[in-house]
Structure 1
Amino acid sequence: MERCRPHGAMEPQPPAEQVLRQLGRLLSHRPGALTELGALLEASEPRWLLGTGSPAALVELAAQLSDFAALPECEQDTAELRDGDKAYEAAAERAAGVGGVFLRLLAKLEAAKADESLKPLVEPVLRRVMGYMYILAVTHIVEGAWSSAGTREVAAELLEELVRSVGCGTVEELLRGRKEEEKGGFEAVMGLMKPRLSKDTWKRNPATKHVFSWTLMRITRPWLSQHLERVLPASLLISDDFREENKVLGVRCLHHIVLNVPGADLCQFNRAQVVYHALYNHLYSREASLIQAVLLCLLDLLPILERAQRQQQQPRPTSPWDEVLQLVLTHMEPEHRLALRRVYARTLPAFVQRLGILIARHLKRLERVILGYLEVSDGPDEEARLGILETLKCTIEHAWPRMPCRLPVLLKALLKMIWDVHTDQGSTPEPVRAALLQRATECLILLDRCSEGQVKILLEGVYSCCEENRVRECIRRVQENT
């Protein structure tokens, strides 16, 4: 005969493992399952939640929640997505709900730390669910067609609570670990991201590249080198896309790697050469934003390649510096787009400075570029002219023995520019005019020094017949300089 339950006795609760797995399976089939799951976590006791078998069920549940909140796959790229897309609105609602459930789970795990018998179980669970929570938070913390003000708020709160729960002070600590020898969460995150970062999958989810780049930028020296095999292929893949915004993003990722990985590690297995060739090919682009990103990255990569060549004792007739500068000057000479002219002119002084006396190899083409850029104004800020005057100054300083023979051409160009700047009635601000005249005067002084006073002699006639005070002031400063 069945024994009767005493009056008022509660029915025993089913195991947490069973309930969690059942609700996880219902997420995609029953609209209210997510709400029920949130209510269950809110009401459950930490001891029940972390009972026998539950930690594995919690990890499985985190994966199911991550899949439920995932963005719909697409065949097109992010650049063609638009705010207000119904599929992304629905995904944002799901993400906000899942973020709320993750917050409740973190709260329960935090409460479990107060129980000494449960405390050993909390950290393993946190480490295994952390990647899913992090990816959801970073997906929606950036503004995109798939996020909303609500999801961004939930994502920021989730990321903040996740950092606090694992005992870190910043997202960087969460990813890298608090100490150099400590294992952070970056490996777990990249492990989950790996299937999404292949050649065939990375563009199906419009947030993948943002999550990858946002995460990569938060890992610096000395932690990044141990993850080089995970991050370099993905960065090269993104930079090799046909869309300009993806190329720029990929190049910025490569630049971060170059800055934060030791040169010896970069040169191992010919990695630095692979990056160099990828960047060199981008120099044929006509987009200013991409050229700027590429040149800035090359300025930090080329010294690494140069050191590797010296160590290998393999002398070459031309170095990567020469190869890059030759191509840049070839593109600069006929360039008429002001945005590109500014980018080239801003970067050129650094190349001249780095090559030093070896800039003499490129003087013929460099002279033509300097003359062409001095002649044309590029707008109120005169970035191109200021950059090219700095280039001329560096060139005179490093290749001064070759300057006397070029004196007539350079002197004429500088005087013409000084006159144009003085007489220009355009919208150029006074500080910019002053900067142009100051740099032109400095170049004249340097030319005079390397030509043993020839500039002073040539300017005597100009000074006596010029009636413009500002131009006379520039000439006077050259003549008085000793």
Structure 2
Amino acid sequence: MKLDSTEEKSGVGRSLPTEVSPPALQQAFSKILHGLSRQESSGQGNAGNAALRDLGALIEATECDKLFEGTGGGGSPREMPEILGQVAKALEKFAAPKEKADGSEEHPEVPEKATEVGLLFLKLLGKVETAKSSPVCPAWKTGLRHLSGPTYIFAITHRLKQPWTSPKSQHVAGEVLSLLFRVTECSSVAGFLCGENEDDRGRFAVVLGLLKPHLNKETWKKNPAVKHVFSWTLQQVSQPWLSQHLEKILPPSLLISDDYQTDNKVLGVQCLHHIVTNVPAADLLQYNRAQVLYHALFNHLYMPEHRLIQAVLLCLLDLFPVLEKALHWQGEAARASTHCHEVLQLVLTHMEPEHRPLLRRTYARNLPAFVKKLGILTTRHLKRLEQVILGYLEVYDEPEDESRLKILETLKLVMQYTWPRIPCRVVVLLKALLKLVCDIARDTIPTTEAAKSAVLQEATDCLILLDHCSQGQVKGLLANIALSCEDSTVVSCIRKVQGSAEAPGEDPGDD
């Protein structure tokens, strides 16, 4: 069969010699690299497919000593390992998904290419594994050092379910990752990236170096897999290894989080959260990094996307201690909670008119953490908190009524921390809680029985705590209701409140 023009120019597809000399081996690899690059630039698959076939044949026909050491001529002994590294990079790039001009997320051509490339990586790693047991080929370590980074990126790109993977390509990628760990003698991803002993420095820096050209403003969307590889890899590395790479991981994380697509924003914020929790505060405060993070996260709170709000609030709660430490060092202890106040004020502003269930649930889920964080300083937000609590208690959240359960938890915390301010609010809060108990008793709330039971228990606890804060006012107000009410559920709740007793000398805030 006649070769196409691309194959003729590159020399791909010609028969390989049975005995390959070192210079001829280098030339053969160069032609294969040329064939892969031709396919990348022209979009024609013939040259690339032929290059993959020839590469497989070349790897099988070449002995380990020649594959890792053979150079010939006046060449350096390091030339072949470096060429193998170039081949590995070309293979990883060949199998990577590309951005579609029409914005489509489907990549039907990628799984087949990834499967073929994965088999080649298995052959290369198989040669390394054979060389490890051979006393005549000590250079396998150098070869593995050049192969490990691109091999890892390929495996992580294709091992999980994505628009560019298939069950077969995922299986092959998983085998590649397992064999890579075996030949590098690593028991886990963290061990591979960070090293498993003092002599092993790990390969995190190598992986970041390979990803860096694809993680700038102009290139990061050309390969849709890069952001996932970066995010997943980043979250496998914890302290103390992460801080030394801060300059390499922070800019891409901020870049991804600043995208217009919600999925990318969430992914970027998750990366930032991992950085905040695994980098020492001193490093985050250097060069004003913590403030940059805070402002980037705070701006996301204006986006009405529940997944994004959830990720941002969790990250901010872990960032507050870092920001407070900076103020403490500056002798500004009185302003230690400034950032938390600012965020809670904005959250309450958004909560009050919010009607979308997912957002209401997200805000309510995180509100108790802010009250715990501020403690007695919650009094600054008491008026707004009261309005939010009353409004959220009126609306059920089927099927588990999560919003109201979290609001009741918030109310308990507010009463514990700000109990001297509660007596003047007894009537308003008592009416809201009794209405809630009556709604549950009448079975007008379309939630599960477990949810109704949980809400009733939380409401009863709130009534008991409200009575403690008001020094028994609630018991007096409930006395006549217990005599006239015919609903057993409501009466049972009132009896529990009346039967509760506050320990002598005990403040509600001590609960």
* The two structures share one fold, judged by TM-score above 0.5: yes
Look up the equivalent residue of 2:372 and give its one-letter code.
Answer: Q
Of 387, 390, 393, 1:371 maps to: 390
Q: Secondary structure at the match of 1:379?
A: coil
Match of 1:269 in 2: 287
CA distance 1:22–1:456, shift in 2 (3 Å): same
Q: Does 1:239 align with 2:268?
A: no
**One-letter code aligned to 1:62:** A
The one-letter amino acid paired with 2:90 is Q
Specify the SS of the correspondent of 2:108: helix
Shift of 1:180: 6.0
Pairwise mapping of residues 25-424 of structure 1 onto structure 2 (< 5 A)?
A: 25-27=34-36, 28=39, 29=47, 31-50=49-68, 51-52=70-71, 53-75=79-101, 80-83=103-106, 88-119=107-138, 121-179=139-197, 182-315=200-333, 319-424=338-443
Alignment-derived partner of residue 3 in structure 1:
none
Give distance in 2, aligned partners of 1:20 and 1:367. 72
Q: Which residue of the other structure, out of 474, 497, 503, is the alignment partner of 1:478?
A: 497
Report the counterpart of residue 28 of structure 2 in structure 1.
19
More moved, 23-32 vs 435-444: 23-32
Unaligned runs of 5+ in 1: 1-9
Deviations 1:105-133, CA, capped at 9 Å, x for gaps: 111111111222422x1112211221111
Shift, 1:202, TM fit:
0.7
| Residue identity opposite 2:120 in structure 1 | V
Deviations along 1:318-353, one digit per CA (max 9) or x if unpaired, are 610100000000010111111111111111011001
Give how far 1:309 is off: 1.1
What is the SS of the residue equivalent to 1:150? helix
For 2:323 and 2:198, the matched residues in 1 are separated by 27
SS at match of 2:109: helix
Q: 2:297 touches 2:312 (CA, 8 Å); kept in 1?
A: yes
Counterparts of 2:254 and 2:18, CA distance in 1: 59
Does structure 2 retain, via aligned residues, the 8 Å contact 1:456–1:479?
A: yes
Q: Is the 8 A contact 2:81 2:146 kept in 1?
A: no
Looking at structure 2, the residues matched to 72 and 41 of structure 1 have their Cα atoms a distance apart, in angstroms, of 27
Post-superposition offset of 1:369: 0.4
Q: Is the Cα–Cα contact under 8 Å of residues 202 and 209 in structure 1 kept in the other structure? A: yes
The question of whether the paired residues in 2 share the 8 Å contact of 1:177 and 1:185 is answered with: yes
Question: What SS does the corresponding residue of 1:99 show, helix, strand or coil?
Answer: helix
Q: How far is the alpha carbon of 1:312 from its aligned partner?
A: 1.6
1:18 offset after TM fit, Å?
2.7
Instruction: Provide the rounded CA distance (Å) in 2 between the counterparts of 1:345 and 1:67.
Output: 45
2:194 and 2:201 in contact (8 A); partners too: yes
Give the superposition deviation at 1:376. 1.0
- In the alignment, the residues of structure 1 paired with residue 334 and residue 353 of structure 2 have an alpha-carbon distance, to the nearest angstrom, of 29
Q: Is the 8 A contact 2:96 2:225 kept in 1?
A: no
Distance 2:198 2:289 in 1: 24
C-alpha separation in 1, matches of 2:495 and 2:467 = 13
- Of the structure 1 ranges 450-459 and 316-325, higher mean CA displacement relative to structure 2 is found in 316-325
Q: C-alpha distance in 1, partners of 2:239/2:96? A: 32
Change (3 A) 1:180 1:162: same
Inter-partner Cα distance in structure 1 for 2:278 and 2:475: 49
Q: How far did residue 316 of structure 1 move?
A: 5.8
Q: Distance in 2 between matches of 1:31 and 1:376?
A: 61
CA distance in 1, matches of 2:352, 2:59: 67
Q: Is the 8 A contact 1:373 1:385 kept in 2?
A: yes
Task: Give 1:13 deviation, angstroms.
Answer: 3.1
**Total equivalences in the alignment:** 465
Partner of 1:6: none
- Whether the aligned pair in 1 keeps the contact of 2:439 and 2:445 (CA below 8 Å) is no
2:451 partner amino acid: V
**CA 410–97 in structure 1, closer or farther in 2 if over 3 Å, else same:** same
CA contact (8 A) 2:95 2:114 kept: yes
Q: Closer, same or farther in 2 for the Cα pair 1:108/1:302, shift >3 Å?
A: same
**What CA distance in whole angstroms lies between the structure 2 residues aligned with 1:161 and 1:242?**
38
1:295 counterpart SS class: helix
| SS of aligned partner of 1:299 | helix
Partner of 1:4: none
Q: Is the 8 A contact 1:180 1:223 kept in 2?
A: no
Deviating runs (4+, > 4 A) in structure 1? 315-318
Change (3 A) 1:37 1:11: closer
Aligned residue number for residue 457 of structure 1: 476
Q: Which amino acid aligns with 2:325?
A: R
Structure-1 separation of matches of 2:444 and 2:460: 21
Contact 2:95/2:113, CA 8 A, preserved across alignment: yes
Offset at 1:138? Answer: 1.2
Partner amino acid, structure 2, of 1:21: S
AA partner of residue 55 (structure 1) = P
Counterpart amino acid of residue 238 in structure 1? I
Residues 364-404 of structure 1, C-alpha deviations (whole Å, 9 max, x = no match): 00000000001111112101100000000000000000000
TM-score using structure 2 length = 0.88
Q: Partners of 1:393 and 1:455 in 2: how far apart?
A: 15
Equivalent-residue separation in structure 1 for 2:63 and 2:155 (angstroms): 26
* Distance in 1 of aligned mates of 2:353 and 2:328: 35
CA contact (8 A) 1:180 1:222 kept: no
